[in-house]
């Protein structure tokens, strides 16, 4: 235990795959609770499963955490490196008589389970070596170390979300702590690591609730303090079914690539299972101020891309223009092929940003609508823009070009000139503006066209219009 009386939290992912949305939410809740209480947030990589743990997965987890802005305190703990300590605790329990050696062979245990099944009983270790003299085992025979757990009474998980969850002890068999090859089991490793790291609060997915009962048995045997548990219901799809890839059960990086902001993800993940009245928009600062265990919901939250989009639109709109330009530039470096924006282009994107960000829900949409600013020169027309630029429209553009060339290059003056031109020809303003937009951007939708002219500047605008004017 540390001397610190403040809460100590941890996120303990198994590096067997990417950091998915459920894991990210678990990390966020622990991080928020640590921030809220002035406590500590630790990261432990549970890499004891050597077959399934990969360095790529560790990397993906660390990167995902960094992107979400979930910084942790101190060094990352790698569970496998602590196997010696886990073993020592198993041996301590053995010496104290709280654990025992079990020499049952795999064949013997198979037979035991087959018999239990045949009798319609649950398959559990029957305690055959519990009170047997280890000297009766064949010399040098392999053994596992099992916890000597009581059959009487119950183990109660006092859970902040689920309430008191009771497990009858006669339903929990004597679990293995140390395998015959001397490697610790997951249950033992988690308990020892949480204790040694001084963890006071365990917030994790409800799929670990049964494990909590198991872990409590070990904690009780060791006489260690019990952490506060909060098991959070799993995330479901919008239809209430288990979350699938289609629903959003994706790597955190996939959300980055889909153009969501880390701020959005923090807000969205927070609302997936935690609430503060009817508030939907909750900044990270507010979340830190408000987060508690009491308001974690008891029923599974539903993942909803539409809500995520709306939230992202909000964070895009409220972001500072220059900062958003930098974020967009960053996003474009992940495009294939990557797009690199020079400082001139960045300046013009920042200038156009108030109009651009108004209509975007994701960075992908923003990237598309800002596309006309990335390079100089005439545009390639999309189908709709090509349709707009009919022979008549091209002729009108030629006439308009003459009028614009005489004009002071500001959005209001350019609008007045275009209006004048339209009136002179007896056409609507839109009929004059649409060919302009098509020539300037290559598309038929864009921020207000006079702002586009102003942002591009006189020379670049005229160059683009001239390419399609007759
Ligand atoms: N390593 C476990 C997982 O990734 C979590 C263990 C825990 O939080 O106690 O699901």
Determine, yes or no, domain membership for 222.
no
Domain that holds residue 416: 377-470
Q: How far does the centroid of ligand 1 lie from the alpha carbon of residue 168, in Å?
A: 24
Atom of ligand 1 nearest to the CA of 190: 9
In terms of domains, do 92 and 162 share one? yes
pLDDT at 40: 98
pLDDT at 131: 94
Domain end, chosen from 171, 186, 201, is at 186
Determine, yes or no, domain membership for 166.
yes
In terms of domains, do 61 and 91 share one? no
> Which residues does 239 contact at the CB level (< 8 Å), separation at least 6?
none
User: Using CA atoms, how far apart are residues 215 and 236, in angstroms rounded to an integer?
Assistant: 27
Q: Are strands 144-147 and 99-102 parallel, antiparallel or unpaired?
A: antiparallel
What six digits make up the tokens of 136? 């009766």
pLDDT at 2: 47
Determine, yes or no, domain membership for 212.
no
pLDDT at 336: 86
In terms of domains, do 28 and 52 share one? yes
Determine, yes or no, domain membership for 216.
no
Helices (H) and strands (E) in the chain, counts: 19, 10
- Cβ < 6 A, ligand 1 pocket: 12-14, 46, 190, 204, 208
3-state helix, strand, coil in the chain (%, to 5): 50, 10, 40
Determine, yes or no, domain membership for 360.
yes
Determine, yes or no, domain membership for 415.
yes
CATH of residue 181: 3.90.800.10
Quickly count: other Cβ atoms within 10 Å of residue 410's Cβ: 12
Residue 421: name the closest of 465, 359, 369, 378 by CA.
465
In terms of domains, do 92 and 64 share one? no
Residue 367: name the closest of 342, 387, 388, 349 by CA.
349
In terms of domains, do 279 and 347 share one? no
pLDDT at 4: 54
Count of alpha carbons within 13 angstroms of residue 347, beta-carbon side? 6
In terms of domains, do 53 and 106 share one? no
What six digits make up the tokens of 340? 């690199």
3-state secondary structure of 68: helix
Domain end, chosen from 375, 393, 410, is at 375
Determine, yes or no, domain membership for 28.
yes
Determine, yes or no, domain membership for 201.
no
Is 306 an annotated catalytic residue? Answer: no
Number of domains in the chain: 4
- Render the burial of 165-178: b for 16+ CB within 10 Å, e for the rest: bebeeeebbbbbbb
Q: Give the residue, out of 12, 192, 195, 229, with the most ligand 1 atoms within 8 A of its beta carbon, to mutate for a pocket test.
A: 12
Atom of ligand 1 nearest to the CA of 16: 4
Q: What is the pLDDT along the chain (470 residues), one digit of tens a residue?
A: 445 589 999 999 999 988 999 999 999 999 999 999 999 999 999 999 888 999 999 999 999 999 999 999 999 999 999 999 999 999 999 999 999 999 999 999 999 999 999 999 989 999 999 999 989 999 999 999 999 999 899 999 999 999 999 999 999 999 999 999 999 999 999 999 999 999 999 999 999 999 999 999 999 999 999 999 999 999 998 888 887 777 767 889 899 999 999 999 999 999 999 999 999 999 999 999 999 999 999 999 999 999 999 999 999 999 999 999 999 999 999 888 999 999 999 999 999 999 999 989 999 999 999 999 999 999 999 999 999 999 999 999 999 999 999 999 999 999 999 999 999 999 999 999 999 999 999 999 988 999 999 999 999 999 999 999 99
pLDDT at 1: 45
Annotated catalytic residue, options 245, 344, 387, 428: 245
Q: How far does the centroid of ligand 1 lie from the alpha carbon of residue 49, in Å?
A: 12
Q: Considering the entire predicted model, what is its pTM?
A: 0.91
């Amino acid at each position: 235990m540390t001397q610190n009386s403040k809460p100590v939290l941890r996120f303990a992912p198994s590096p067997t795959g990417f950091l998915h949305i459920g894991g990210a939410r678990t990390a966020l809740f622990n991080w928020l609770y640590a921030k809220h209480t002035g406590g500590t947030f630790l990261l432990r990589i549970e890499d004891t499963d050597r077959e399934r743990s990969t360095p790529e997965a560790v990397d993906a987890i660390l990167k995902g955490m960094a992107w979400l802005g979930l910084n942790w305190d101190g060094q990352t703990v790698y569970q496998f490196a602590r196997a010696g300590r886990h073993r020592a605790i198993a041996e301590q329990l053995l010496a104290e008589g709280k654990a025992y050696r079990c020499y049952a062979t795999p064949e013997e245990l198979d037979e035991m389970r087959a018999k239990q099944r045949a009798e319609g009983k649950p398959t559990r270790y029957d305690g055959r070596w519990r009170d047997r003299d280890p000297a009766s085992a064949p010399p040098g025979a392999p053994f596992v170390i099992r916890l000597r757990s009581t059959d009487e009474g119950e183990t109660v998980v006092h859970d902040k979300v689920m309430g008191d969850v009771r497990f009858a002890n006669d339903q929990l068999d004597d679990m293995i702590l140390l395998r015959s090859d001397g490697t610790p089991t997951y249950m033992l490793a988690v308990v020892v690591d949480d204790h040694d790291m001084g963890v006071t609060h365990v917030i994790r997915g409800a799929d670990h609730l049964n494990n909590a009962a198991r872990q409590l048995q070990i904690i009780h045997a060791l006489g260690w303090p019990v952490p506060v548990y909060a098991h959070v219901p799993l995330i479901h799809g919008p239809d209430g079914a288990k979350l699938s890839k289609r629903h959003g059960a994706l790597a955190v990086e996939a959300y980055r690539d889909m153009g969501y902001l880390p701020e959005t993800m923090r807000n969205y993940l927070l609302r997936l299972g935690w609430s503060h009245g009817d508030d939907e928009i909750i900044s990270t600062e507010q979340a830190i101020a408000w987060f508690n265990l009491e308001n974690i919901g008891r029923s599974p939250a539903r993942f909803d891309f539409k809500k995520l989009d709306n939230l992202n639109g909000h964070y895009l709109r409220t972001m500072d223009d220059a900062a958003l330009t930098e974020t967009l530039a960053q996003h474009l470096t992940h495009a294939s092929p990557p797009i690199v924006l020079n400082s001139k282009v960045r300046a013009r994107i920042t200038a156009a940003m108030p109009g651009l960000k108004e209509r975007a829900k994701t960075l992908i949409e923003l990237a598309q609508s800002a596309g006309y600013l990335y390079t100089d020169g005439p545009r390639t027309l999309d189908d709709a823009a090509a349709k707009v630029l009919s022979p008549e429209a091209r002729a009108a553009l030629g006439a308009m070009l003459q009028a614009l060339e005489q004009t002071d290059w500001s959005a209001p003056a350019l609008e007045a000139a275009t209006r004048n031109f339209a009136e002179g020809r007896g056409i609507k303003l839109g009929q004059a503006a649409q060919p302009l937009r098509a020539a300037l951007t290559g598309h038929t939708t864009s921020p207000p066209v006079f702002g586009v002219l102003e942002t591009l500047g006189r020379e670049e605008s005229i160059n683009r219009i001239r390419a399609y004017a007759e």
